[in-house]
């Protein structure tokens, strides 16, 4: 083969590769060119559902294609996460992860996915504390009173609701029980507004949930907020003391974030990340999230991944220190 012929073939091969890269770049630049599904693992009316719908509406507005919210409830969000982890990595199936994603990793011996490596992180979108609340008819006026009652020998356990076994609400309640040396019993629900209804009806004693779920009921007087789990007073609930005033050092901040299946093209992840950065800088979006008891929390994909890594390690320590049985 002559030198000229080899050069000719090499240039043809290089040209073919360049053409393929050009086509791929064009395809990714056009993303999305059809509807995108945003999956979450909790019921209608809950924090995840509310924030997912807000993010979907804003993404649709800016990217020009429908973003359809799909709820796949159960197992503290693991059903939704497993579905997305196995989805085609093309950017058309996304998941709204919650802090429960890391709590489940700490609570379960095994999961149908790797909580870090089976996902391409996009960005966190919000962070927030939980509210510890009781019904308006409860005799307990403060967190200290509630804990003293739960410490008394011979008393039935004080029950607390959550959106599911292995959820962040669940582990926050367990951490509260351990820190307060209180006899408390977890009563799981399948997410959404069910936990708050159970507390207002008297079926469960204590609510551990977000201000998104509890806020309107606190304002209406149907629930009495005893504490928030932020280290300091939370701006949206200025009259509610932090739990740390009763239990020094007690603090739990959770988050929501968007991810895709692992191996989703970087160009797609970067486009979604840039769009979320724009969304979360919007004053109207900030105000809506503040009204839900949340603060905006944009991050890079790497920072979201690091936060998940850190949270898993911290929750595993909580589970071990509290003697919670891993399921």
For 263-327, give the DSSP string.
Answer: T--HHHHHHHHHHHHHHHH-HHHHHHHHHTT-EE----HHHHHHHHHHHHHHHHHHHHHHTPPP-
Q: Is residue 30 part of a domain?
A: no
Q: What's the whole-model pTM score?
A: 0.79
CATH number at residue 265: 3.40.190.150
The domain boundary, picked from 245, 266, 294, lies at: 245
Which residues are paired to 68 by β-bridges? 37
Residue 130, helix vs strand vs coil: strand
Tell me how far apart the alpha carbons of residues 263 and 118 are, in angstroms, rounded to a whole number: 8
Q: What is the pLDDT of residues 14-71, one digit of tens each?
A: 445 444 343 344 445 699 999 999 999 988 878 899 999 999 999 999 999 999 999 9
pLDDT recorded at residue 29: 67
Q: Is residue 223 predicted with pLDDT exceeding 50?
A: yes
Tell me how far apart the alpha carbons of residues 215 and 262 are, in angstroms, rounded to a whole number: 36
Judgement on whether residues 193 and 295 belong to the same structural domain of the protein:
no
Judgement on whether residues 241 and 163 belong to the same structural domain of the protein:
yes
Q: Is residue 268 part of a domain?
A: yes
What domain count does the chain have? 2
Tell me how far apart the alpha carbons of residues 258 and 112 are, in angstroms, rounded to a whole number: 19
Judgement on whether residues 136 and 193 belong to the same structural domain of the protein:
yes
Judgement on whether residues 228 and 263 belong to the same structural domain of the protein:
no
Judgement on whether residues 118 and 262 belong to the same structural domain of the protein:
yes
Q: Is residue 19 part of a domain?
A: no
The closest of 33, 11, 29, 31 to 21, measured between CA atoms, is 29
Residue 306 sits at the vertex; the CA angle it makes with 304 and 312, to the nearest 5 degrees, is 105
Judgement on whether residues 210 and 316 belong to the same structural domain of the protein:
no
Q: Is residue 7 predicted with pLDDT exceeding 70?
A: no
Q: What is the pLDDT of residues 143-169, one digit of tens each?
A: 999 999 999 998 899 999 998 777 888
Judgement on whether residues 196 and 271 belong to the same structural domain of the protein:
no
Rounded to the nearest integer, the mean pLDDT of the chain is 89
Judgement on whether residues 170 and 216 belong to the same structural domain of the protein:
yes
Which residues are paired to 36 by β-bridges? 67
Residue 128 sits at the vertex; the CA angle it makes with 141 and 98, to the nearest 5 degrees, is 120
Judgement on whether residues 235 and 301 belong to the same structural domain of the protein:
no
Q: Is residue 243 predicted with pLDDT exceeding 50?
A: yes
Q: What is the pLDDT of residues 102-131, one digit of tens each?
A: 998 998 889 999 999 999 999 999 999 999
Judgement on whether residues 113 and 160 belong to the same structural domain of the protein:
no
When pLDDT is averaged across residues 192-213 and rounded to a whole number, the result is 91
The domain boundary, picked from 245, 277, 304, lies at: 245
Q: Which token pair is 253?
A: 């901040």
The domain boundary, picked from 221, 245, 269, lies at: 245
Residue 166, helix vs strand vs coil: coil
Judgement on whether residues 272 and 216 belong to the same structural domain of the protein:
no
Comparison of pLDDT for 204 and 107, the residue scoring more: 204
CATH number at residue 204: 3.40.190.10
When pLDDT is averaged across residues 304-323 and rounded to a whole number, the result is 90
Q: Is residue 213 predicted with pLDDT exceeding 90?
A: no
Parent domain of 82: 35-128+254-322
């Amino acid at each position: 083969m002559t030198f000229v012929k080899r050069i000719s073939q090499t240039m043809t091969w290089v040209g073919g590769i360049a053409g393929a890269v050009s086509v791929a770049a064009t395809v990714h630049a056009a993303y999305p060119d059809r509807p995108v599904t945003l999956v979450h693992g909790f019921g209608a009316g809950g924090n995840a559902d509310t924030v997912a719908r807000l993010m979907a509406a804003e993404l649709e507005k800016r990217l020009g294609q429908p973003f359809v919210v799909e709820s796949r409830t159960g197992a503290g969000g693991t059903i939704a996460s497993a579905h997305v982890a196995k989805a085609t990595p093309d950017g058309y199936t996304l998941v709204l992860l919650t802090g429960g994603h890391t709590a489940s990793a700490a609570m379960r011996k095994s999961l149908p996915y790797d909580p870090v490596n089976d996902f391409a992180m996009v960005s966190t979108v919000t962070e927030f504390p939980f509210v510890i609340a009781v019904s308006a008819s409860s005799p307990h006026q403060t967190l200290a009173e509630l804990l003293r009652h739960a410490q008394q020998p011979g008393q039935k356990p004080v029950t607390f609701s959550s959106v599911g076994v292995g959820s962040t609400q669940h582990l926050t309640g367990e951490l509260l029980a351990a820190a307060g040396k209180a006899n408390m019993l977890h009563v799981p629900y399948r997410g959404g507004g069910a936990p708050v209804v159970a507390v207002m009806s008297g079926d469960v004693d204590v609510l551990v949930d977000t201000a998104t779920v509890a806020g309107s009921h606190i304002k209406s007087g149907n629930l009495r907020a005893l504490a928030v789990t932020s280290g300091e007073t939370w701006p949206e609930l200025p009259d509610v003391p932090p739990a740390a005033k009763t239990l020094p050092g007690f603090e739990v901040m959770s988050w929501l974030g968007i991810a895709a299946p692992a191996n989703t093209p970087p160009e797609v992840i970067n486009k979604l990340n840039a769009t979320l950065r724009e969304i979360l800088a919007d004053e109207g979006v900030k105000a809506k999230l503040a009204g839900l008891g949340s603060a905006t929390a944009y991050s890079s994909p790497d920072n979201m991944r690091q936060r998940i890594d850190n949270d898993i390690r911290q929750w595993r320590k909580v589970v071990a220190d509290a003697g919670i049985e891993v399921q």
